[in-house]
């Protein structure tokens, strides 16, 4: 059911049911974070591995000490700089918070979204609770491993049968502005002498984190907590997706090897994402799609485009490699994982 009532959505969450709702990153599939049975419904409907943690979303006024055992100075700095916003912090989980949200780990992922609908929902959800504390566990509202939704229409299409059966309500709201999932920083090991660690790049860049922390966060290590979106293959469309070579000359060679349709009336079979279509040869089997040269704009468009291409009958999506500087780290990460889903 598609709904517009914040109060009804919060009541449903407090009853242990699922509500998808918008955030500035992507649409989330929400459940009461303190209700293990409700969280289990997320895993079931997403077909998500039970050891893959989810992120708890909090209202701006939430008491962080209710959720985390320790709040290191680094967390306070990052919260002041980036909350509300697309940043998830991994902290030591308070003992009374069920481990259902953390995949059995001692840590918990916490985030305060900036999307106005999300904030209103989180405030109303907490207001309805006896102690005034409420967190909503909410991974992206899609089947596990597939492209995250950035519009409520995406959620309606993804979970049509579940909605018919009353297993899910979708709260309408404005599109996700950022378009990719949040940056995730691990601070759960600060007391052990392990500095802030970047576990998933996002809209908030490594450089921005360094400016606040006073040092560049470490890269993920083998002892880091498992977090959302950390599997090698993830964020994948249904259509085969591959990288193109890095040079324009090599891309042209690939284009020229694609079998040509015998008549012009035959629909193109390849969608090719490039920065400058005019640099490449026209081909009857290829539709060139011009992509933004700005990393944030590319990210904002990416998931919506991949979902649209899935509906248009292409047999392949080919992507021109992206710049390798830090501003493109998050988009490169998402596309690398999407392409990995189709590797042997």
Q: What is the pLDDT of residues 249-300, one digit of tens each?
A: 999 999 999 988 665 556 889 999 999 999 999 999 999 999 999 999 999 9
End-to-end CA distance of the chain: 39
Lowest mean pLDDT across 50-54, 156-160, 178-182, 311-315: 50-54
Whether omega before 84 lies within 30 degrees of 0, making that bond cis, reads yes
Confidence at residue 184, expressed as pLDDT on a 0 to 100 scale: 98
Residue 308 main-chain phi, psi, to 5 deg: -65, -40
Q: Is 340 left (phi over 0), alpha (psi -120 to 50) or beta?
A: alpha
Contact at 8 Å (CB) between 298 and 253? no
The CB density around residue 269, as the number of other CB atoms within 10 Å, is 16
Identify the H or E element spanning 186.
Answer: strand 183-186
Residue 301 has pLDDT above 80, yes or no: yes
**pTM, two decimal places:** 0.96
Q: What is the pLDDT of residue 279?
A: 97
Q: What is the pLDDT of residues 172-184, one digit of tens each?
A: 999 999 999 999 9
Q: Are 243 and 205 in contact (CB under 8 A)?
A: no
- How far is residue 30 from each of residues 130, 178, 215, 291, measured CA to CA in Å? 20, 19, 34, 32
Placement of tokens 């992509």 in the chain: 291
pLDDT tens-digit map of 72-131: 999 999 999 999 999 999 999 999 999 999 999 999 999 999 999 999 999 999 999 999
Measured CA to CA, the distance from residue 310 to residue 316 in angstroms comes to: 9
**Nearest partner of 109 among 123, 97, 91, judged by Cα:** 91
Apex 3 CA angle, 2 and 6, nearest 5: 145
160, two tokens: 């049509």
Mean pLDDT of the region 135-160: 96
Output the pLDDT for position 138. 98
Burial 70-93 (b: 16+ CB within 10 A, else e): ebbebbeebbeebbbbbbbbbbbb
Q: Kindly report, residue by residue over 30-47, the tens digit of the pLDDT.
A: 999 999 999 999 999 999
H runs (alpha helix) in the chain: 6-14, 36-46, 64-67, 73-82, 116-127, 152-158, 160-164, 206-213, 248-257, 295-310, 329-340
pLDDT of residue 260: 82
The pLDDT > 90 percentage for the chain reads 93
Region of residue 22 (left: phi > 0; alpha: psi -120 to 50; beta: else): beta
Secondary structure E strands in 214-315 = 218-219, 240-243, 270-274, 286-290
Average pLDDT, the chain: 95
Residue 288 has phi, psi (to 5 degrees) of -85, 140
Token pair 């050891």 is at which residue? 51
Encode 187-205: b = buried (16+ Cβ within 10 Å), e = exposed: bbbbeeeeebbbbbbbbbb
**Residues shown for the chain:** 344
Model pLDDT, residue 50: 83
């Amino acid at each position: 059911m598609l709904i517009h009532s914040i109060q009804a959505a919060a009541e449903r969450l407090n009853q242990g049911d699922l509500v998808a709702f918008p955030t500035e990153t992507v649409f989330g599939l929400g459940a009461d974070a303190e209700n293990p049975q409700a969280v289990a419904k997320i895993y079931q409907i997403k077909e998500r591995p039970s050891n893959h943690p989810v992120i708890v979303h909090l209202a701006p006024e939430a008491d962080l000490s209710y959720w985390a055992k320790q709040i290191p100075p680094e967390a306070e700095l990052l919260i002041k700089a980036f909350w509300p916003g697309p940043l998830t912090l991994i902290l030591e989980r308070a003992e009374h918070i069920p481990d259902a949200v953390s995949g059995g780990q001692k840590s918990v992922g916490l985030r305060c979204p900036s999307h106005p609908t999300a904030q209103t929902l989180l405030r109303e959800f907490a207001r309805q609770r006896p102690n005034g504390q409420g967190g909503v566990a909410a991974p992206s509202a899609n089947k596990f491993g597939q492209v995250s939704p950035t519009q409520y229409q995406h959620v309606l299409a993804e979970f049509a049968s579940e909605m018919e059966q009353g297993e899910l309500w979708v709260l309408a709201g404005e599109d996700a502005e950022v378009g990719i999932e949040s940056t995730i920083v691990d601070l759960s090991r600060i007391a052990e002498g392990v500095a802030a660690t970047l576990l998933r790049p996002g809209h908030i860049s490594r450089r921005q984190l360094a400016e606040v922390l006073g040092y560049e966060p470490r890269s993920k290590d083998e002892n880091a907590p498992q977090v959302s979106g950390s599997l090698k293959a993830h964020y994948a469309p249904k259509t085969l997706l591959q990288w193109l070579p890095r040079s324009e000359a090599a891309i042209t060679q690939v284009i020229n090897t694609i079998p040509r349709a015998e008549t012009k009336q035959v629909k193109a079979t390849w969608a090719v994402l490039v920065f400058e279509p005019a640099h490449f040869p026209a081909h009857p089997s290829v539709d060139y799609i011009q992509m933004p040269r700005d990393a944030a704009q590319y990210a904002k468009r990416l998931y919506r485009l991949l979902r649209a291409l899935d509906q248009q009958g292409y047999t392949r999506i080919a992507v021109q490699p992206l710049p390798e500087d830090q501003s493109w780290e998050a988009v490169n990460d998402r596309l690398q994982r999407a392409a990995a889903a189709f590797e042997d």
